[in-house]
Structure 1
């Protein structure tokens, strides 16, 4: 049961966020534990914060799976990991022409940001060469911003990506520090934090988010929001686990739609000025309540994810139009 239960109090919580004041742990838990009957005033309070910073604009992003199914990591949520038996495509880093074709498709979908994502612990120099070559041509020929997500970067690699023109680098924290060992053993939570800090030093916009539904407690969800606030991530993708058969987390249940919306509101309150992106798993977890997510989030992915299908891009465009919102092009 929520400890905050009337509309005025949810409104004051939103005002606290606008004032730059940090929510207490108790207030964060109250958001996640709010009675479902309080959802609409809670989302209105989150929308007041979202509207202050972003109006009614929605940023669209598109992913290309640039390297698939050859990952030595043992992340329990991922169908591409070494411990997964899920039937996924396996291929090495895509060539420049394929990456360029993906960029053109992003533009066709009205996406302002094109996300080049590759499974693996980190890129080899040859793989980095291929990405850098494609990024330079995209920057020269298309009005499109580029996000790279290539894993843990070695010395010199962040600098090369920044020099090529990568605007944003994504490396998700995924879960809480305490829960991290139950998700993967082949790298650490601290290594992920270090990578995000590294890309910031070279002027790339830091992008880092979470996956909800991997056994974390409500207290840990609040902790994750605080961690991303402290990390000062400019963009925060909120994924909801899409449990894939053949992965260690295949039996994990879906996050109820109402809970997913409360999570989005929480992150808006704790990271009020940041791009909050409703990301992977939104279709199977939020289901028919997807439109409400944009009252807290101001960004989403269009099209497919890495190995799972998204909904048709026309449906996303329709949601935005029906809400009276508008697509924002070419913005981080």
Structure 2
């Protein structure tokens, strides 16, 4: 399939609204053009600094202004991260993503510690991803030089809907960080959340921004909102599985070579529902008992599902390592 970067909203909306079985068939056909369609990349996500975030993301229990059960925790130590990385690798993960509840990266000792974490996990032959909030070009380059493989910075929703969900930063702030990540020769992980109260047009508009980037994100997470008591979106209903499948299928068709990650909300899905997502083009998941602060299936359950569905795990660095790394490689 020819990869294009000039999708119109109408084109994407037509895909999204196709009869369900036709949509899944088309997405599965696009996915099977890749000989590795049955491979699934497993990532493990850990919170290296939890809670106390100054942002007001309406869905996030780590925002300091909301009264949730999340307790503020200080920065993890490097050896703690290495221990968790080893457990994740033993469980089948090829990528470790480290998240910090920051609005933006600051040039201080905590960021220096993150650099040490990146170097340590990279030396374990795991892909390293970080999600640390906004960062400038110099900070992105420091992460790249340390051996970072990917940087996650989700768009969350459409530009038009953005201010309803978050007021402490702008949609353009997100795009600027992604631009800085690209300039530092890092791979981009960027997707969004459905179930925020957005419209189908908002979902399509968000996918259009991603699909029309000069280079598609290497990874697009599709998250279903996990409502958390104490946040403004605590009473949102669970996202229908059909909506998740439509988002995954549309992302697969518009970005055929991208890893589409079935992300938050998977703990509420049956194996059959997840199978529909894999059929529609999902080829990446987060595994482990937590996604930052929300529940997630554990490795053993996922491995049993993989065996049942005939899926295999993707090895780290299948597409090669970044070229500008100073970190030790073993």
TM-score (norm 1): 0.89
CA-CA distance at 1:155 after TM superposition:
4.8
CA-CA distance at 1:286 after TM superposition:
6.6
Which stretch shifts more, 153-162 or 246-255? 153-162
In the alignment, does 2:25 pair up with 1:44?
yes
Tell me how far apart the structure 1 counterparts of residues 15 and 236 of structure 2 sit (CA, whole Å).
23
Higher relative CO (Cα under 8 Å, sequence separation at least 6) belongs to 2
CA-CA distance at 1:32 after TM superposition:
3.4
In the alignment, does 2:149 pair up with 1:149?
no
Q: Residue 201 of structure 1 is aligned with which of 162, 177, 183?
A: 183
1:294 partner SS: helix
In the alignment, does 2:258 pair up with 1:284?
no
Match of 1:120 in 2: 102
Q: Residue 149 of structure 2 is aligned with which of 157, 163, 167?
A: 167
Matches within 5 A, 1:286-305: 288-295=272-279, 296-303=281-288, 304-305=290-291
Q: Residue 135 of structure 1 is aligned with which of 118, 130, 134?
A: 118
The structure-2 alpha-carbon separation of the partners of 1:286 and 1:270, relative to structure 1 and needing over 3 Å to count, comes to farther
CA-CA distance at 1:254 after TM superposition:
1.3
The structure-2 alpha-carbon separation of the partners of 1:287 and 1:88, relative to structure 1 and needing over 3 Å to count, comes to farther
Match of 1:324 in 2: 310
Q: Residue 293 of structure 2 is aligned with which of 307, 312, 323?
A: 307
In the alignment, does 2:222 pair up with 1:238?
yes
CA-CA distance at 1:83 after TM superposition:
2.6
Tell me how far apart the structure 2 counterparts of residues 239 and 74 of structure 1 sit (CA, whole Å).
18
CA-CA distance at 1:85 after TM superposition:
1.0
TM-score (norm 2): 0.89
Tell me how far apart the structure 2 counterparts of residues 317 and 77 of structure 1 sit (CA, whole Å).
29
Whether the 8 Å contact between 1:278 and 1:297 is mirrored in structure 2 is yes
The superposition leaves residues 86-129 of structure 1 with CA deviations (integer Å, 9 ceiling, x where unpaired) of: 11131121111111112101201211110011111023321111
Tell me how far apart the structure 1 counterparts of residues 171 and 271 of structure 2 sit (CA, whole Å).
30
- Structure 2 gaps of 5+ residues are 320-330
Whether the 8 Å contact between 1:103 and 1:114 is mirrored in structure 2 is yes
CA-CA distance at 1:182 after TM superposition:
0.5
CA-CA distance at 1:69 after TM superposition:
0.9
Tell me how far apart the structure 2 counterparts of residues 222 and 198 of structure 1 sit (CA, whole Å).
25
In the alignment, does 2:147 pair up with 1:158?
no
In the alignment, does 2:241 pair up with 1:260?
no
Tell me how far apart the structure 2 counterparts of residues 160 and 143 of structure 1 sit (CA, whole Å).
19
CA-CA distance at 1:288 after TM superposition:
4.4
Tell me how far apart the structure 1 counterparts of residues 237 and 150 of structure 2 sit (CA, whole Å).
32
CA-CA distance at 1:23 after TM superposition:
5.5
Match of 2:74 in 1: 92
In the alignment, does 2:13 pair up with 1:20?
no
Pairs aligned (count): 311
The structure whose residues are more often helix, as a share, is 1
Tell me how far apart the structure 2 counterparts of residues 320 and 46 of structure 1 sit (CA, whole Å).
20
Whether the 8 Å contact between 1:29 and 1:222 is mirrored in structure 2 is yes
Cα RMSD, aligned residues only: 1.7
Q: Residue 231 of structure 2 is aligned with which of 228, 247, 253?
A: 247
Whether the 8 Å contact between 1:148 and 1:169 is mirrored in structure 2 is yes
1:72 partner SS: coil
